[in-house]
Structure 1
Amino acid sequence: MRRYGTAVLLLLTGGAVLRITLFSELYLRYVQAGLRPYLIVSGAALVLLGLATAVLRSRTPDDHVALACEDQHGHDEQEAPHSHHRTPRTAWLLTLPAVALLLFPPPALGSYSAAREAAQRAAQGVGTFPALPAGNPVELTVAEFSSRAIYDSRRSLKGRTVRLTGFVTHGDDGTWYVTRLTVSCCAADATTSKAEVRGADALPADTWVTVTGTWHPKGALGSDEAWPPVLDVTTVTQVKQPADPYEKP
């Protein structure tokens, strides 16, 4: 089995990548949708390389290796085949992440990641935003709502009913938020947007919800006091986590 260690590692890694990209949408927990073709090609290449490595190892004669080992280490010819193509024991530890991704894909980033990140706000500063579509409620991302609430000099959210979808996070003082992570490329560059929810009881952390309500102004535009924006909610509905849990910038 040791002689096939490299092949096994390549097959496990390639199979794990194909499992989350070609046969499911789990890859959306980690990267943008546009990277899917590249991941599929990479996974297929790893699988093919693993198969090719296994075939080459199976065709390598043991006696040639035995002679080489005898010259180098002074062992007899009967002991050498046992050391043929041995994979270092520590290298087998590399199979653990591949097996974990294949069998137990990690969940999307959630409340823990959001809580550890300092408040990050849009960099555009106070200004004007495009007009909101007519009708209520207006469907907005959490990032859009946050930016308009903090920076829109026209106060376009005033008097409008909005609908946001995100997961629940908790504050230290009993407040709770509807939160969403924004990803530019992959989960490693995720940033946090959130809105404080008032008028409804808190749900457990990481529960996905759709909330409907109106903006509750606070603080001066662009100030620290305006962060995070507040939403006076009228309805809170539990929903399933979207296939793509991240918002786009």
Structure 2
Amino acid sequence: MRRYGPAVLLALVGAAILRVSLFSELYLRYVQAGLRPYLVVSGAALVLLGAAVAAVANRADHEQDHEHGHGDGGHAGHGHGPGGPRVAWFLTLPALALLLFPPPALGSYSAEREAARSAARGVGAFPALPPGDPVDLTLGEFGSRAVYDSRRSLDGRTVRLTGFVTRGGDGTWYVTRLLVSCCAADATAARAEVRGAQAPPADTWVTVTGSWHPEGGLGSDAAWPPVVDAASVRRVTQPDNPYEKR
């Protein structure tokens, strides 16, 4: 069995990658949608490589049995060939975890650990918002317009924001979304303080409809995080892609 260890490990890792990328949308918890083809190809390649390694090991077993059948009894046919260090079997644990119990997307714990926020753009004029209220905005766009838009395009508009609930140390609460460029490892938080509504439990996904409440001057620390006066807060299910693109 030890001879087949590398084949089993390769197949497990490949199957885990295919499970989250080809047969479900779970990969969106970890990477951007554009990386799906690369995940599918790499998962399939690992499964095929595992099959090839198993075939080589099986052939080696047959050749060894053939040698023994011709009277080469001086060698015990057990443990010949490199089976890899036994500690490598510990790699089956994360592979099985991803295959059977994929970890959830990052949530409030990750968002609350972020100590600082860097601005994607400075103060300036933003394009006009589309007509009609409420207007659906990402948390990233809402924050950028609230803090940096010299045209104050959010004035008098009703916005609709979707994210998960995080809490502040002073009883405030926020609708939050994590922004990623490539994958969950580079995630940063975008959030808006919600006023006028009771906070649902942390990590609950909600859609907040309300209006922007200006705070501080353009581009100032006092303007961040932006504030929304909630007219309604509705619980929703987590979207397939829990992240916003940065």
TM-score in terms of structure 2 length: 0.93
User: Mind listing any 5+ residue stretches in structure 2 that lack a counterpart?
Assistant: 69-73
Partner of 2:50: 50
Mapped partners of 1:65, 1:218: distance in 2: 83
Mapped partners of 1:213, 1:31: distance in 2: 31
Question: RMSD of aligned C-alpha atoms?
Answer: 1.6
Mapped partners of 2:242, 2:64: distance in 1: 51
Partner of 2:4: 4
Name the SS of the counterpart of 2:5 in structure 1. Answer: helix
1:179 counterpart = 2:176: yes
Which among 222, 239, 248 is matched to residue 219 of structure 2? 222
Mapped partners of 1:139, 1:247: distance in 2: 13
For the 8 Å contact 1:65–1:84, the answer to whether it is kept is: no
For the 8 Å contact 1:119–1:192, the answer to whether it is kept is: no
Mapped partners of 1:124, 1:85: distance in 2: 56
Partner of 1:210: 207
Mapped partners of 2:148, 2:118: distance in 1: 10
Mapped partners of 1:109, 1:122: distance in 2: 21
Partner of 2:71: none
% same residue: 72
For the 8 Å contact 2:2–2:79, the answer to whether it is kept is: no
Consecutive aligned runs of 4 or more in structure 1 exceeding 4 Å deviation: 63-66
Mapped partners of 2:57, 2:206: distance in 1: 53
Number of residue equivalences: 239
Mapped partners of 1:45, 1:133: distance in 2: 45
Mapped partners of 1:209, 1:121: distance in 2: 25
Which among 68, 72, 75 is matched to residue 77 of structure 1? 75
Name the SS of the counterpart of 1:123 in structure 2. Answer: coil
Q: Give the Å deviation of 1:88.
A: 1.6
Return the letter of the residue paired with 1:13. V
Name the SS of the counterpart of 2:243 in structure 1. Answer: coil
Name the SS of the counterpart of 2:78 in structure 1. Answer: helix
Mapped partners of 1:226, 1:39: distance in 2: 40
TM-score in terms of structure 1 length: 0.92
Once the two structures are superposed, the pairs formed by residues 86-235 of structure 1 within 5 Å of their partners are 86-235=83-232
Return the letter of the residue paired with 2:205. W
